[in-house]
């Protein structure tokens, strides 16, 4: 086990920040609801707004991009690499393959075969991948291998044991009020541990992988994941630490989750809604 993988694993396994209590979560929920309600007042036609990490980052670093019309969706390798890569890491962690390079091909073939037999899409991209030639398929698999290797190589799997959930479903929470603003949190792994006071007080540490490099708002961005997790599953394990990895830049950042960090994340969400509302509103008005 290398020092780097040990330290990431230890960060996930040793999070001890006392969780924010129920009163603290109530304050956070109230602050978020009031702030979003104000910020979303100008949303054109009460349009739906889903705020994920991508929107939070765009609003801060590239607000001008928010007014660009969404391109018609078309499958690309970048949309496959996370889901296929995550399946590969999961299969490697189960001991079925020696590394992502061995896993992605059989997993992709199996998904396509199952879709052909039953029509069931585990990943949604099965028909697209099935329609690619061998050269296109190989490129998609190659991207997934590279993505998966960054995650697989970052952790000491023996040290994590059975406590890690890989690629859990996204956390979702709708902000109460007249607008239709939803929060969505997505992270790559969650480590859940029982706290000394018993299973009713389970704590979790989240691991997030991002492309590029951390921006100056990385602290709020990692705390955002904890915020959505805590709001979406109040009876679930309380997030106490978020570890962010930016493999391209070799960067690692850690946020211990306390009420202040979550409050900053709430304010960042409100800023995101406000900026989005302004930009979209200005575009609609032809400004």
Residues at the interface with another protein (CB under 8 A): 2-5, 62, 76-77, 97-105, 132-143, 145-146, 149-150, 152-154, 211-213, 247-250
Residue count (the chain)? 287
Least CB distance to another protein at residue 231 (A) = 32
In whole angstroms, give the CA distance from residue 287 to residue 280. 10
> Residue 32 or 245: which CB sits closer to another protein?
245
> Residue 79 or 232: which CB sits closer to another protein?
79
Least CB distance to another protein at residue 170 (A) = 25
Least CB distance to another protein at residue 160 (A) = 16
Contact predicate 266/32, CB 8 Å: yes
In whole angstroms, give the CA distance from residue 2 to residue 250. 15
Number of H helices, E strands in the chain: 10, 8
Least CB distance to another protein at residue 238 (A) = 30
Residues in a beta bridge with 252 = 245
In whole angstroms, give the CA distance from residue 96 to residue 94. 6
Q: What is the DSSP letter of 203?
A: E
Least CB distance to another protein at residue 102 (A) = 4
Query: Tokens 């694993």 correspond to what residue?
Result: 9
Strand boundaries in the chain, DSSP class E? 49-51, 164-166, 171-174, 181-185, 189-195, 198-209, 238-246, 251-256
> Residue 150 or 269: which CB sits closer to another protein?
150
CA 283 remoteness from chain centre: 29
Least CB distance to another protein at residue 209 (A) = 13
Least CB distance to another protein at residue 156 (A) = 11
> Residue 97 or 224: which CB sits closer to another protein?
97
> Residue 149 or 272: which CB sits closer to another protein?
149
CA 130 remoteness from chain centre: 27
> Residue 24 or 159: which CB sits closer to another protein?
159
> Residue 91 or 205: which CB sits closer to another protein?
91
Q: Tell me the backbone φ, ψ of residue 26, rounded to 5 degrees.
A: -65, -45
What lies within 8 Å, CB to CB, of 27 at 6+ separation is 259
Can you state the angle between helices 100-118 and 134-152, rounded to 10 degrees?
A: 130
> Residue 76 or 260: which CB sits closer to another protein?
76
In whole angstroms, give the CA distance from residue 202 to residue 19. 9
What lies within 8 Å, CB to CB, of 37 at 6+ separation is 175, 177, 178, 179
Least CB distance to another protein at residue 245 (A) = 11
């Amino acid at each position: 086990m290398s020092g780097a993988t040990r330290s990431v694993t230890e960060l996930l396994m040793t999070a001890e920040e006392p969780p924010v209590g129920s009163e603290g979560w109530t304050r956070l929920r109230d602050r978020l609801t009031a702030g979003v309600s104000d910020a979303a007042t100008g949303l054109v036609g009460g349009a739906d707004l889903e705020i994920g990490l991508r929107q939070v980052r765009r609003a801060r670093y590239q607000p001008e991009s928010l007014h660009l019309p969404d391109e018609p969706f078309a499958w690309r390798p970048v949309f496959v690499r996370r889901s296929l890569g995550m399946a590969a890491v999961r299969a490697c962690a189960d001991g079925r393959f020696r590394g992502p390079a061995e896993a992605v091909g059989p997993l992709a073939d199996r998904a396509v075969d199952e879709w052909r037999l039953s029509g069931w899409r585990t990943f949604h991209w099965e028909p697209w991948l099935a329609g690619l030639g061998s050269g296109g398929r190989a490129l998609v698999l190659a991207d997934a291998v590279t993505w998966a290797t960054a995650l697989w190589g970052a952790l000491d799997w023996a040290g994590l044991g059975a406590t890690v959930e890989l690629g859990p479903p996204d956390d979702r929470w709708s902000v109460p009020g007249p607008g239709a603003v939803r929060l969505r949190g997505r992270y790559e792994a969650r480590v859940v541990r029982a706290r000394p006071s018993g299973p009713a007080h389970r704590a979790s540490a989240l691991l997030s992988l991002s492309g590029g490099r951390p921006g100056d708002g990385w602290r709020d961005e990692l705390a955002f994941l904890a915020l959505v997790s805590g709001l979406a599953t109040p009876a679930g394990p309380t997030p106490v630490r978020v570890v962010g990895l930016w493999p391209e830049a070799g960067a690692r950042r850690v946020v211990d989750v306390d009420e202040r960090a979550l409050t900053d994340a709430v304010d960042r969400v409100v800023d995101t809604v406000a900026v989005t509302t302004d930009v979209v509103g200005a575009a609609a008005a032809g400004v």
